[in-house]
Structure 1
Amino acid sequence: MIAIITGDIVNSQEHPSSEWMGVLKEYFSRFGPSPMNWEIYRGDEFQLKVTQDNALFVAIQIKAILKSIKGLDVRMGIGIGLETYIGSGVSESNGPAYQRSGRKLESLKDSRVNLSIATGNEFYDRTLNLMLRLALDFMDDWSVVSAEIIALVLDEPNASQKEIAKKLGIKQSAVSQRLKRARLNLVLDLLDYYENQIKEI
């Protein structure tokens, strides 16, 4: 079982790709080489292959990275399932994980929801997607500074508030306030819930 994240960047036409392309490629390269593990195509769409266990973590990190750039956001469909055909690149490979991910992204464009998951299990999908919609209520509203601090904390989960403050050039009390505003505790609870649920599927 693998996870495929298919996404498109919201408001990309209002930003030069030089603003976001480099940071996105740098992040994606952690998951292996392109085009076997990830591809950016049609200018502002992408596909990324990850493990099912960290799929939601990766999707939230992508969202935080892109929302750190003023005016940008991202829409993503996560598909969990098998990979039955490996092509010359991730966009040419196939299987239930790919199909679920692509269909999810298409359905999101009409529903105005920015993140959804398809595991092939209707019961788990309903619960997970309800929780995602509730979380998006604040994640879609992350300011640049909120997104920036979430991206940093997810990247360095063991960093102290003092170390984060030093990195961002702000006071430690400001770190605490930003984390509270970004609802980090709820993000971590959601990720914890997802990790437990995905083991059951």
Structure 2
Amino acid sequence: MAVFAVITGDLVKSSSYQSTDYDRLLYLLDQSLRLCAEPQHFNIYRGDAFQLLLTDPSQAVRAALLLRLNLIVEGTDARLCIAIGAADNLRADIKTATGPVFTLSGTGLDRLSQQRWSLYDAAGKQPLDLLLRFADQRLMQLTKRQAQVLLLYFLAEDKSHKNLASELKSSRANVTALLNQASYLLFDDFLQHCHHWISDYVQR
């Protein structure tokens, strides 16, 4: 049976926004999800809740990171639960798909308390929990500008600091300083470790 990743989430403190800001927030969420998947592979429901399907589970943590960074740049964040497992009724539109991986992702989100993301394997274990908690703390310490530079770094094909500076209309020295402040090399290693672990897990 094929293995997938599902990310279930909701926006942090969305109930505190005024109606005009809330509309902008939902547009931001839609654009953030489009960084990670095709529109038919995600669903926004119950206002600010969402679910995202990834056919390549090894990309799940990267997708979650991009999603959170894009939100942090705009002054908000999301709570996320990543689940790796099977989908017994996978359809073209995620709204009608079902399976253990969807259920596990939803119940995992309900269990979140202090941290803002988690990952469960098909057995309901959290093998990367310590790494995710460390990364979570670092993410919550980022300024909007640091998050913006870090997001661009992960999205850019040319990751040279000179190119990033050109994209941001900033100096190379400033971009390098912001990337270092954002611990970009540690986030790079973090993503590679998660990618390798999930790839190995799926092949077992």
CA deviations over 1:128-154 (Å, ceiling 9, x no partner): 111100111111111101111111111
Residue type of the alignment partner of 1:163? N
Question: Shift of residue 87 of structure 1?
Answer: 5.5
Number of the residue aligned with 1:140: 140
- Of 34, 38, 41, 1:32 maps to 38
Matched, 1:154 2:160: no
- Of 61, 64, 67, 1:62 maps to 67
Aligned 8 A contact 1:3 1:97 in 2: yes
Number of the residue aligned with 1:5: 7
Aligned 8 A contact 1:9 1:75 in 2: yes
Matched, 1:45 2:49: yes
Please tell me the root mean square deviation across aligned C-alpha atoms, in Å: 1.9
Question: Shift of residue 177 of structure 1?
Answer: 0.8
CA deviations over 1:156-199 (Å, ceiling 9, x no partner): 14232112112212211110111011111111111111111112
Unaligned runs of 5+ in 2: none
- TM score, norm. by length of structure 2: 0.87
Residue type of the alignment partner of 2:141? D
Mapped to 2, the partners of 1:84 and 1:157 lie a distance apart of: 35
Aligned 8 A contact 2:104 2:124 in 1: no
Aligned 8 A contact 2:81 2:117 in 1: yes
Mapped to 1, the partners of 2:24 and 2:50 lie a distance apart of: 16
CA deviations over 1:71-104 (Å, ceiling 9, x no partner): x111000011111013574243211211111111
Which has the higher mean CA deviation after the structures are superposed, 23-32 or 79-88?
Answer: 23-32
Residue type of the alignment partner of 1:104? G
Residue type of the alignment partner of 2:120? A
Mapped to 1, the partners of 2:100 and 2:90 lie a distance apart of: 12
Number of the residue aligned with 1:98: 102
Identity among equivalent pairs (%): 26
- TM score, norm. by length of structure 1: 0.88
Mapped to 2, the partners of 1:166 and 1:88 lie a distance apart of: 39
CA deviations over 1:21-80 (Å, ceiling 9, x no partner): 33432343452233xx1111111111111120100000000000000012x111000011
Q: How does 1:49-198 map to 2 (within 5 A)?
A: 49-50=53-54, 51-70=56-75, 72-86=76-90, 89-108=93-112, 111-121=113-123, 125-126=126-127, 128-198=128-198
